[in-house]
Amino acid sequence: MFKITLKKGFHVIDEINADLDGDSYPDKIYIASSQEEMMELQILIFKNNKGSFSLWAKNDSSPILGEKEYKKTVTKGNYFTLEYTRDLEDKYNIYNYLTFKLRDNNFILHKFSQETYDAKANKKLPIKAWNENNFGIINFNTTTYEFLDHLK
């Protein structure tokens, strides 16, 4: 087994096994959270080198604010999507999808999309989506809450 070093006060809330680089060995993604609700999640990705794991990438200040917002991680090929929700002022329920792609052995932001439900008006608002054409090449480790907030 290998050692996972988490930020102080953090614990693993999800572990995903997926072959992100297509070498037939399942890599690992760990999602870690603090007990404090408004702390960013820590996300660690470990590459499987034929049974020996090494840290591949990490984000210590992800845009997801705590275990309460995080829903799940979905993988497909060399992509993975972090799904999370955010409720604003008891008026809007926002479903966020943050997709990363492995390119040249680095994870980069591929797409960010939001589905918003207006609870007061009882209706879905148009889906908003941004991709590399909008924001350029953004590395996994530098994708933060502040960065995504400026896209809007």
| pLDDT of the residue at 1 | 63
Residues 60, 40: Cα–Cα separation, whole Å: 7
State CA 63 to chain mean position distance.
8
- Give tens-digit pLDDT for 38-49: 789 999 999 999
Residue closest to 75 by CA, chosen among 120, 116, 104, 107: 107
pLDDT recorded at residue 66 = 87
pLDDT above 70 as % of the chain: 99
To the question of pTM greater than 0.85 for the whole model, the response is yes
pLDDT digit string, tens, across residues 26-70: 999 999 999 877 789 999 999 999 999 999 999 999 999 888 999
